[in-house]
């Protein structure tokens, strides 16, 4: 059973004191419904993704579904840390592919700015490892990725300048995306001169704490024909994997094994052997600049250890061989946890339809990749889309 995306929506990301969680969700839901040209009546199933960092709502699917007009539709909420968005898309996808629903909506929504930054970092640290690394060493979330960065620097000679270029690229794209959290361009020097959060990661190497939502409406091929929709972005394949949360048990810090495993699953099913040639662009999980560099390698965009050089080459910029994070990435578009994975679907659909305005990539293959990670690879999803 083929499953396609028939409508997408995305809220403005950033500090959203103007909206409570259900209003924020509806901002994306309304756009997605309008985009698909359907109403709530056609949707059979609503999957709400929300990590709910503050505990603002114990069971967030209830108010979100109620407010968005899906009270009679939704049987569940999903959570997979920062990969919650992709997990919601996964659940909507499997619900349709298994024949349980013909039309399903995946909603990702998060209000994070209500919590102070220190709390968020502590929560992130707990997400990184519950067993003892946070409690024993006070390891916050940036510290985990700092370990990845230092390992990568030591083994492959990756530099702080190369990492900075990921941030510069992200800000350049985000500055042209009116929904992005950050709207200003930055230079390599700005990154290098920003204060250290945890060596070697500086303020501008880190994605921000954002509020935001995104929604994607999925449907079965049969239903798509019945609805007479002919502009569809298909989900060609879905890969998932996970890994130990205990960093001390990891084989290596220079990449994420979960990404590699999820990639293998997704590429095998979609027949991807040379991603740079076969894909038009990719959205990857750049919660920190080093994460994008590792993703290049783990996803096979370059050889292991050459991620720093790849960003330096400019080939992942708009106009390059394989543009990455064309809407600004987690780094500059913002990272409202559960919204992120669904917002990647939004970006992919907009790009593959040629609706990305001045951020539009060149379409040769009409295929794109989604890569969403939870924690430091506790969860990973890789999906291939085509139009």
Annotated catalytic residues are 82, 335
Q: Work out how close the CB of 382 gets to a copy of itself at its nearest, in angstroms, rounded to a whole number.
A: 11
The helix or strand, by DSSP H or E, that contains position 383, with its residue range, turns out to be: strand 379-386
Q: Which CB sits closer to a copy of itself, 66 or 231?
A: 66
Q: Is 66 in the site for a copy of itself (CB under 8 A)?
A: yes
Structure tokens at 292: 């994008």
Q: Choose, by CB under 8 A, the member of 57, 221, 264, 306 that binds a copy of itself.
A: 57
Q: What is the DSSP letter of 245?
A: S
| Dist. CA 378–CA 125, nearest whole Å | 13
Q: Is 187 in the site for a copy of itself (CB under 8 A)?
A: no
Applying the rule CB under 8 A, the residues between 230 and 249 that interact with a copy of itself are: 238, 240-246
- Using the contact rule CB under 8 A, the part of the chain among 121-129, 283-291, 302-310, 342-350 near a copy of itself is 121-129
| Cα–Cα nearest to 368, from 345, 339, 334, 340 | 345
- Using the contact rule CB under 8 A, the part of the chain among 69-77, 156-164, 173-181, 279-287 near a copy of itself is 69-77
| Dist. CA 79–CA 90, nearest whole Å | 11
Q: Is 319 in the site for a copy of itself (CB under 8 A)?
A: no
- Distance in Å from the first CA to the final CA of the chain: 16
Q: Is 93 in the site for a copy of itself (CB under 8 A)?
A: yes
Q: Work out how close the CB of 314 gets to a copy of itself at its nearest, in angstroms, rounded to a whole number.
A: 34
| Cα–Cα nearest to 108, from 57, 66, 51, 48 | 48
In a 10 Å sphere around its CB, with 0-12 CB exposed, 13-18 middle and 19+ buried, how is residue 99 labelled?
Answer: exposed
| Dist. CA 299–CA 315, nearest whole Å | 15
Q: Choose, by CB under 8 A, the member of 37, 39, 75, 199 that binds a copy of itself.
A: 75
Applying the rule CB under 8 A, the residues between 353 and 382 that interact with a copy of itself are: 375, 378-381
Q: Is 33 in the site for a copy of itself (CB under 8 A)?
A: no
Q: Which residues contact 38 (CB under 8 A, 6 or more apart)?
A: 6, 7, 103, 217, 227
Q: What is the CA 272 to chain-centroid distance, rounded?
A: 20
| Cα–Cα nearest to 76, from 99, 56, 101 | 101
Handedness of CA 301, 302, 307, 313 (dihedral sign): negative
Q: Which CB sits closer to a copy of itself, 50 or 213?
A: 50
Q: Which CB sits closer to a copy of itself, 158 or 242?
A: 242
Q: Which CB sits closer to a copy of itself, 234 or 240?
A: 240
Q: Is 95 in the site for a copy of itself (CB under 8 A)?
A: yes
Which residues here bind a copy of itself, judged by CB under 8 A? 1, 45, 51-53, 55, 57-59, 61-63, 65-66, 71-81, 83, 87, 90-91, 93-100, 123, 126-127, 130-131, 238, 240-246, 258, 261, 375, 378-381
């Amino acid at each position: 059973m083929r499953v396609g995306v028939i409508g997408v929506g995305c809220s403005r990301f950033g500090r959203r004191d103007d909206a409570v969680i259900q209003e924020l969700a509806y901002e994306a839901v309304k756009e997605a419904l309008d985009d698909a040209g359907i109403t709530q009546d056609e949707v059979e199933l609503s999957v709400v993704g929300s990590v709910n960092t503050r505990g603002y709502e114990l069971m967030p699917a209830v108010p979100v579904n109620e407010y968005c007009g899906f009270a009679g539709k939704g049987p569940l909420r999903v959570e997979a840390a920062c990969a919650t968005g992709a997990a919601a898309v996964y659940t909507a996808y499997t619900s349709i592919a298994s024949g349980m629903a013909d039309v399903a909506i995946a909603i990702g929504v998060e209000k994070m700015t209500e919590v102070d930054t220190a709390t968020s970092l502590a929560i992130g640290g707990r997400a990184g490892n519950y067993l003892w690394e946070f409690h024993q060493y006070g390891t916050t979330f940036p510290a985990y990725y700092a370990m990845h960065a230092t390992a990568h620097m030591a083994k492959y000679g990756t530099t702080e300048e190369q990492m900075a270029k990921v941030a510069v690229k992200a800000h350049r794209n985000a500055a042209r995306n009116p929904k992005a959290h950050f709207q200003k361009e930055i230079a390599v020097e700005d990154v290098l001169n920003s204060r250290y959060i945890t060596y070697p990661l500086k303020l501008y190497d880190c994605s921000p704490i954002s509020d935001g939502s995104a929604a994607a409406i999925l449907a079965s091929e049969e239903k798509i024909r019945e609805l007479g929709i002919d502009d569809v972005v298909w989900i060609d394949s879905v890969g998932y994997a996970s890994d130990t949360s205990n960093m001390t048990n990891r084989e290596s810090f220079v990449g994420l094994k979960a990404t590699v495993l999820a990639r293998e699953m997704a590429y095998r099913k979609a027949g991807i052997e040379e991603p740079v040639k076969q894909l038009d662009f990719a959205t990857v999980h750049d919660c920190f600049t080093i994460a994008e560099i590792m993703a290049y390698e783990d996803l096979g965009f370059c050889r292991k250890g050459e991620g720093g050089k790849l960003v330096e080459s400019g080939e992942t910029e708009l106009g390059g061989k394989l543009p990455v994070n064309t809407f600004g990435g987690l780094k500059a578009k913002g990272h409202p946890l559960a919204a992120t994975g669904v917002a990647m679907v939004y970006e992919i659909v907009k790009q593959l339809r040629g609706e990305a305005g001045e951020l539009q990539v060149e379409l040769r293959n009409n295929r794109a990749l989604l890569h969403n990670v939870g924690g430091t690879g506790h969860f990973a999803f890789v999906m291939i889309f085509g139009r």
